[in-house]
Structure 1
Amino acid sequence: MQLVRKGIEILRSYGPVSFVSAIFLFAYWNLGIRTIFLIYYHKSSGPTTNVIIGKISASIETRTYYEFELSYDLKDEQKTLENVLGDTSQDDVFYDIGANVGLYSYLFGPAVSECKICAFDPHAMNAAALKRDLERNKIDGMIFRLALSDENGTFELSEEGQKAGFGDHSLDTTESESTVPVIFRRLGDLREEYTLPVPTVVKIDVEGAELDVIKGAKDTFSAPNCKTIYCEIHLDRVQSFGGSPKQVKDSLTNTEFEIEYIDEEVGGRSMMKATK
């Protein structure tokens, strides 16, 4: 009944064109039309997809449907990607935390010097796909198959899909029947062990564990030359880790960052940009 009332409201307020458009969008997102379209599009495409953001281009492996969906959905992150690439120079060091298959890493690669990309993702298939794509695009980076947190240890990762590119590998295991053990490390300890440089630009997308990552990276993010952090806050998941969007924001402002939002509350997510 709520959908019917909403439809009548749209028809009365905005007219029949908007009403028909609303019906199409509802069907596209909720009745499987989008998935059918993307499956067909994926099958008609080759094993790789070329992605272009501004003057930067990269060849991305899209052998699985989920990898293809990620590359297709890059248009929804156009503004963020343009911001990230616009903030970079040849002297920058980029950390891709929660890299998935590395869309940011191999778009960022052509913009910076060699050996200045560090990507972190705990899922084996994602890390393998990321390695192949970096090699295909002749980008030399370091890949760490682990999760960053505020402590060191081994915990369980929710694994809702078995193929590279699946976006719902989460540290929140409360509703998951499938988990795999993963290594957790504090960024400060990892940097000391591997003598990693301080990042100048950071992207964080960790499905709700944003606050834990920032806590474990406090010394790193407090460094004067760590100048920009892009942090995607998952509004529906951050509370599962005992945090809140405000705590994430405060944890960055406490290390002398100024906060702005690029995309606020889009699809249950909010992209925060922190700069010094």
Structure 2
Amino acid sequence: RFQRLKDKLGNRSNASSEVEFHGAYAERLGEEGQGVRTIIEMVQWTRLDCAVASAGLMRFGLANALHHARHRLTFQRRLVDQPAMRAVLADLALEVEAATALVFRLASAFERAAAAPAEAALTRLVTPVAKYLVCKTAPGFLCEALECLGGNGYVEELPLARAYREAPVNAVWEGSGNVMALDVLRAATRDPAAVAGVIEGLGKVAGELGARIATIVTADLLGNEPERHARRITERLARLAALAALAEAKNPFVEVYATTRLLDEPHATYGATDLGEATDSLLDRVLPG
């Protein structure tokens, strides 16, 4: 019995409704009273889906913004050649590099988890932190990409308006931000040795700064009132996991990511970070030519 069709902000081509089942045939999956435990394995996969989808939306927004900037002239120069715009686009590009590396390193762990306990432990901890960071980054990221197109980015004839409306949904689906942060704490409580091993491993892969961040995260998990600091712990852990993924992939922007996302004070807007000589190479990797 349909209760209502949802008139959603975005994701409108994927119709959603509320349904009640009356007298329907069903078979129980798992043990009675253990519904959450039974469904959690599926939820892990769909949380991965949410993170991958958000990383894809970010890449889509960046590609559209850079394409526009390469073909739009302002004051007799291409927009992409204006220093302020280059700073914004390069900062966006660095975020995409990290999000992409993180979600595909996590996907690789899912594929290997059955045969490798260390990879299984990584999926348990890194899935909620990846979903937290990437899915919560995407809406603001898409807004900045849309702004690169000016007024044209805000009209429905071009695709970024739809992408912007789509962006928040993945942060809501399969558990919103606080749910992800509390899930990290839950994992640390239930299997502290496995979680400690994952954090230590991420720190080793991520280099000297990564090892320092791993120590800080571990101390936060063991400290007073971890629930009050759950979001801070989760964000730090997500940045650490992204740095480790970049390092493992031998990405050329490991150092600049470590410096600007983990070492420097965070900036409120894209383009405020000084990426130095990495600016040109970041933009060249987005859309060569």
Higher RCO, Cα 8 Å, sep 6+ = 2
Asked if these proteins are the same fold (TM beyond 0.5), I'd say no
Query: Comparing both structures, which one devotes a greater share of its residues to helix?
Result: 2
Query: Comparing both structures, which one devotes a greater share of its residues to strand?
Result: 1
Higher gyration radius (CA): 2
TM-score when normalising by structure 2: 0.26
